[in-house]
């Protein structure tokens, strides 16, 4: 019997100067810049929708704008042009879901999309990226990450304080939005891997952060598991349920 193979998919020291690395960096940098742009716009909209938290949301929007600029500097530092048109496509569906919920005055899906899903996507991506980042990008990402945890915490607290009245709406918004979040992770996975990121870490980080947020809000472990099943409807346990 042959010994177990070591997983060689993750290169601990990417060749930052290679054409392949730079091409992947350009697309992922575009996604990150676009994600920060979405976050900026979403928080400004949330400030209108929930005026009692206007200051907190406006502050968050300002921070997202700062993050965007920092990541633009990373791209320049790397000598890479961010692929914004591609990145816009990655976020198109989530963007449309937020816009149509906002148009209908539906606060819960909007807050779930930004304060839980976008923040957890950012946290997962940035955590998976740190071990393989170049020095400059790593320092920027570490600073940004601290803010994203703070944003996630703000969203969690609001949902927790309003849990009884919003529980059913959170469950139905989750059902619609979680597959869209998964699609985003799938679409960035190829470039993430080329940049040396561990895809299991990326996916696990997202699932863990998002699941922990839901539990903190007030959902039971069982309810969180059921809410996550929307990601894998072919799971035999789900089929049997």
Could you list the residues that contact Fe ion (CB under 5 A)?
36, 39, 64, 67, 148, 151
Helix and strand numbers, DSSP H then E, in the chain? 10, 0
- Rounded Cα distance between 202 and 198, Å, is 6
Which phi and psi angles does 12 have, rounded to 5°?
-70, -25
Query: In the bound complex, what is the minimum distance in angstroms from residue 119's beta carbon to Fe ion?
Result: 5
The nearer residue to Fe ion, 108 or 115, going by C-beta atoms, is 115
Nearer to Fe ion, 120 or 214 (CB): 120
> DSSP letters of 119-148?
HHHHHHHHHHHGGG--HHHHHHHHHHHHHH
CB nearer to Fe ion: give 10 or 56.
Answer: 56
Min dist. Cβ of residue 36 to Fe ion (A) = 5
Kindly state the tokens that stand for 77.
């530092």
- Nearer to Fe ion among residue 145 and residue 217 (C-beta): 145
CB of 61 to Fe ion, least distance (A): 9
Q: Three-state secondary structure along 46-114?
A: HHHHCHHHHHHHHHHHHHHHHHHHHHHHHHHHHCCCCCHHHHHHHHHHHHHHHHHHHHCCCHHHHHHHH
Question: Cβ–Cβ contacts within 10 Å for residue 100, how many?
Answer: 12
Which CB, 36 or 205, lies closer to Fe ion? 36
CA distance 202 to 197: 8
Least distance CB 221 / Fe ion (angstroms): 26
Q: Which is nearer to Fe ion, 21 or 39 (CB)?
A: 39
- The nearest distance, CB 164 to Fe ion, in angstroms, is 26
């Amino acid at each position: 019997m042959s010994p177990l193979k070591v997983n060689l998919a993750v290169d601990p020291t990417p060749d930052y100067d290679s054409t392949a690395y730079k091409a992947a960096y350009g697309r992922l940098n575009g996604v990150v810049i676009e994600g920060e742009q979405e976050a900026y716009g979403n928080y400004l909209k949330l400030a209108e929708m929930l005026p009692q938290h206007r200051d907190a949301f406006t502050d968050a929007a300002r921070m997202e704008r700062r993050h965007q600029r920092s990541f633009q500097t990373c791209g320049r530092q790397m000598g890479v042009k961010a692929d914004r048109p591609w990145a816009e496509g990655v976020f198109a569906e989530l963007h449309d879901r937020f816009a149509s919920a906002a148009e209908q005055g539906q606060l819960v899906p909007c807050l779930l999309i930004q304060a839980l899903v976008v923040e957890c996507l950012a946290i997962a991506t940035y955590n998976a990226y740190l071990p393989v980042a170049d020095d400059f990008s790593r320092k920027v990402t570490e600073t940004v990450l601290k803010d994203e945890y703070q944003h996630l915490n703000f969203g969690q607290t609001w949902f927790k304080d309003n849990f009884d009245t919003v529980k059913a709406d959170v469950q139905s918004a989750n059902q619609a939005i979680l597959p869209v979040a998964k699609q985003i992770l799938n679409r960035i996975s190829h470039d993430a891997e080329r940049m040396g990121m561990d895809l299991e870490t990326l996916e696990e980080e997202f699932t863990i952060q998002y699941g922990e947020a839901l539990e903190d809000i007030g959902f039971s472990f069982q309810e969180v598991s059921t809410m996550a099943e929307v990601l894998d409807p072919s799971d035999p346990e789900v089929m049997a349920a």
